[in-house]
């Protein structure tokens, strides 16, 4: 196997870290974190979500997610409610204040993403999205 093939995981990690660092800086300025924004972005669909669903979407281990959700609940951005369909489950929802925060944070993310698009190019990003989507589906 060629060395450049073995280097692909490192290159993917480097690109992910670079983008995540830019987004994290934009969110920090806006008073949030990437993890919080991911959680809010899932809950913004208006449907309640279980902790398992949120953890999978936000790419967080359960203990870390619990801390993130607790912070968001304390800040009044998220609330928990027992699932009417299954009383054993607890669902998390975005509050009205959480919706306003999500909208503000999304504006910060979109502004930073425009900088990424300018640096990398929209065509390259579109191609990368297609390739990564294909790879993700095949490795799942």
Q: What is the pLDDT of residues 40-62, one digit of tens each?
A: 999 999 999 999 999 999 999 99
For the chain, the structural domain boundaries read 16-139
**Helix pair 34-43, 51-58: axis angle to 10 deg:** 130
Which pLDDT belongs to residue 84?
Answer: 86
Q: Where are the alpha helices (DSSP H) in the chain?
A: 3-6, 8-29, 34-43, 51-58, 62-74, 96-120, 122-139
| pTM score, whole prediction | 0.85
Work out the pLDDT band at 87, boundaries 50, 70, 90: confident
Confidence tier at 6 by pLDDT (50, 70, 90): low
Confidence (pLDDT) at 111: 94
Q: Tell me how far apart the alpha carbons of residues 44 and 29 are, in angstroms, rounded to a whole number.
A: 21
Residue 111: both structure tokens together = 């502004």
> How far apart are alpha carbons 54 and 59 in whole angstroms?
8
Q: CATH for 16-139? A: 1.10.10.10
């Amino acid at each position: 196997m060629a060395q450049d093939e073995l280097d692909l995981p490192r290159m993917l990690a480097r690109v992910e870290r670079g983008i995540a660092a830019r987004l994290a800086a934009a969110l920090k300025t806006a008073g949030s974190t990437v993890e919080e924004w991911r959680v809010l972005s899932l809950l913004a669909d208006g449907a309640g979500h279980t902790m398992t669903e949120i953890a999978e979407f936000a790419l967080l281990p359960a203990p870390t997610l619990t801390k993130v959700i607790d912070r968001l609940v304390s800040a009044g951005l998220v609330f928990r409610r027992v699932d009417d369909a299954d009383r054993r489950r607890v669902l998390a929802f975005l509050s009205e204040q959480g919706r306003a925060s999500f909208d503000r944070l999304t504006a910060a993310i979109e502004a930073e993403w425009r900088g990424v698009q300018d640096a990398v190019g929209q065509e390259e990003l579109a191609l990368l999205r297609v390739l990564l989507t294909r790879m993700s589906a095949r490795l799942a």
